[in-house]
Amino acid sequence: MTRLRTAIPGPRSLELQARREGAVAAGVRSTLPVYVASAGDGLLVDVDGNQLVDLASGIAVTGTGNPAPAVAEAVHAQIDRFSHTCFMVTPYESYLEVCEELNALAPGSHEKRSVLLNSGAEAVENAVKIARHVTGRQAVVVVDHGYHGRTNLTMALTAKTMPYKHRFGPFAPEVHRVPTSYPLHDGLTGAEAAQRTISAIERQTGAGTTAAVVIEPIQGEGGVIVPAGGFLPALARWCREHGVLLVADEIQTGFCRTGSWFACDHEDVVPDLVTTAKGIAGGLPLAAVTGRAEIMDAVHAGGLGGTYGGNPVACAAALGAIRTMHDRDLNAAARRIEKTVLGRFGTVAEKTGAIADVRGRGAMLAIEFTERTPDVAARVAKTCHEQGVVVLTCGTYGNVIRLLPPLVIPADLLAEGLDVLEGALLA
């Protein structure tokens, strides 16, 4: 079925792109400058009437749909009642409900508390604030290929210079980077990789001065890197033994994306603090830090917050999104997507020497090319885009095609998108 009416981008999108150049800062880039008019479960409809198959979900945000009916309903109902009071001035119930959901869903059966914020980067900033406050230590350890945001502290935590950090320094101090587990490249078992990581922390930073290790349980922007089994549990054990807080950045992996509520669940890792954003609120800006009650409650009153954090419309959306995840069993949906994609592209990889690895969990999947330059991934992505399929590239070397389809994407639409990707891979 042809979903395209014009070349991609179409004439109206090109017109808007030209207008954008006179209005929007050039530093803001779009993967595919096709201007969106409306969307559905796995489809984006552009201003030229083209239908695009969405295998990106706005970078792992619209997993529940665009929007899920329950999100749309909750948002409409809330905006008709009130739009904002500021939770720090006069609170409202939905903020409590979102925190209760987060505390119940986040890994571990211990008592938890949450604080709501606006963006992933802000959540990570707050997790570091809390960890430093509670431990009285300053050093923060992060790993190679990590991505945590674009604010000053989170740029320091992020590994890749171009485009995230180039000429934006000086960066926040007391951030120490150590190796991680990247099975395709290092060939290490989880235990060996953890030993390498731990020994680098002990040598370079010192356990006694380290407040936290901040790590994505599956690295997203860095290349959808799934650490070898046993790596995260060993790191968590070492953190516990040394009073170092383990901060799991689940901003991209959380909320059913990897086929469980959180990626830490796959190996029963229980972090001290978890950061969430993206998929939590079905497209509205909301983020959170959730953690052990005694850690979260140690911060003085007024030490955490912000004008918009936990905005009531975003909270309503989150409650609608979480309900959708339960009602439609989106963990199972993500696991189905994993089976389809890994099965299919495992076979494709056998037909071409260009593919080094096909990996991922749930609906967070990737194809890494043998060549460690962005050329092949960029060509494949461009071919997909021209045929109306939205895919992303990522990776420290830019040599990874990343798939983050909506968890609610119908099977036939997913197959249609994957057909195009397969064609591009074999071209």
Residues 123-152 touching ligand PMP, rule: CB under 6 A, are 124, 147-149
Identity of the residue numbered 6: T
CA dist., res. 375 & res. 380, Å (int): 9
Q: Among the candidate windows 78-86, 117-125, 134-142, 342-350, which touches ligand PMP by CB under 6 A?
A: 117-125
The contact pattern for ligand PMP, residues 264-293, with x = CB under 6 A and - = no contact, is -------------x----------------
User: Smaller CB distance to ligand PMP: residue 46 or 265?
Assistant: 265
Q: Shortest CA distance to 45 belongs to which of 388, 298, 425, 356?
A: 388
Q: What DSSP designation does 4 have?
A: -
| Residue 400, beta-bridge partner list | 368, 394
Q: Does residue 180 bind ligand PMP (CB under 6 A)?
A: no
Instruction: Supply the minimum distance, in Å, between the C-beta of residue 203 and ligand PMP.
Output: 26
Taking CA atoms, 251 is separated from 218, 286, 315, 408, 419, in Å, by: 10, 11, 16, 19, 29
CA separation for the pair 339, 362 (Å, rounded)? 8
Among 249, 272, 338, 357, binds ligand PMP (CB under 6 A): 249
**Based on CB atoms, which residue is closest to ligand PMP, 143 or 194?**
143
Q: Which is nearer to ligand PMP, 153 or 188 (CB)?
A: 153
**DSSP result, 221-257:** TTT-BPPPTTHHHHHHHHHHHTTPEEEEE-TTTTTTT
Cβ 145 to ligand PMP shortest distance, Å? 11
Q: Whole-angstrom Cα distance, residue 398 to residue 379?
A: 12
Q: Distance between CA atoms of 126 and 149, rounded to whole angstroms?
A: 12
Tell me the two tokens of residue 72. 């749309």
Q: Which is nearer to ligand PMP, 250 or 272 (CB)?
A: 250
- Binding residue for ligand PMP (CB under 6 A) from 228, 247, 251, 330? 251
- Bridge partners (DSSP) listed for residue 261: none
User: Which residues, listed in sequence order, are joined to residue 116 by a DSSP beta bridge?
Assistant: 288
Pick 107 or 220: Cβ nearer ligand PMP: 220
- How many CA atoms lie less than 13 Å away from 413 in the CB half-sphere? 20
* Ramachandran assignment for 395, one of left (phi > 0), alpha (psi -120 to 50 degrees), beta (any other): left
Q: Which residue is nearest to ligand PMP (CB)?
A: 120
Q: Which is nearer to ligand PMP, 251 or 270 (CB)?
A: 251
CB of 88 to ligand PMP, least distance (A): 21
Using CB under 6 A as the binding rule, the residues of this chain from 184 to 213 that contact ligand PMP are: none
User: Could you tell me the smallest distance in angstroms from the CB atom of residue 364 to ligand PMP?
Assistant: 10
d(CA 375, CA 398) in angstroms, rounded, equals 8
- Interface map 226-245 toward ligand PMP (x if CB under 6 A): --------------------
Q: Which is nearer to ligand PMP, 284 or 358 (CB)?
A: 284
- Binding segment for ligand PMP (CB under 6 A), chosen from 4-12, 115-123, 288-296, 367-375, is 115-123
User: 50 to 89, contacts with ligand PMP by CB under 6 A?
Assistant: 59
Both tokens assigned to 170: 């000086």
Stretch that binds ligand PMP, among 129-137, 249-257, 372-380, 381-389 (CB under 6 A): 249-257
Q: Kindly indicate which of the ranges 41-49, 134-142, 215-223, 333-341 contains the residues binding ligand PMP, using the contact rule CB under 6 A.
A: 215-223
Q: Which member of 50, 57, 119, 290 binds ligand PMP (CB under 6 A)? A: 119
Among 273, 269, 257, residue whose Cα is nearest residue 114: 273
- CA gap 145, 338 in Å, rounded: 23
Look up residue 45 and give its two tokens.
């409809």
Interacting residues of 108 by C-beta distance below 8 A, sequence separation 6+:
270, 271, 292
Q: Whose Cβ is closer to ligand PMP: residue 115's or residue 413's?
A: 115
Binding site for ligand PMP (CB under 6 A): 59, 119-121, 124, 147-149, 216, 220-221, 249, 251-252, 277
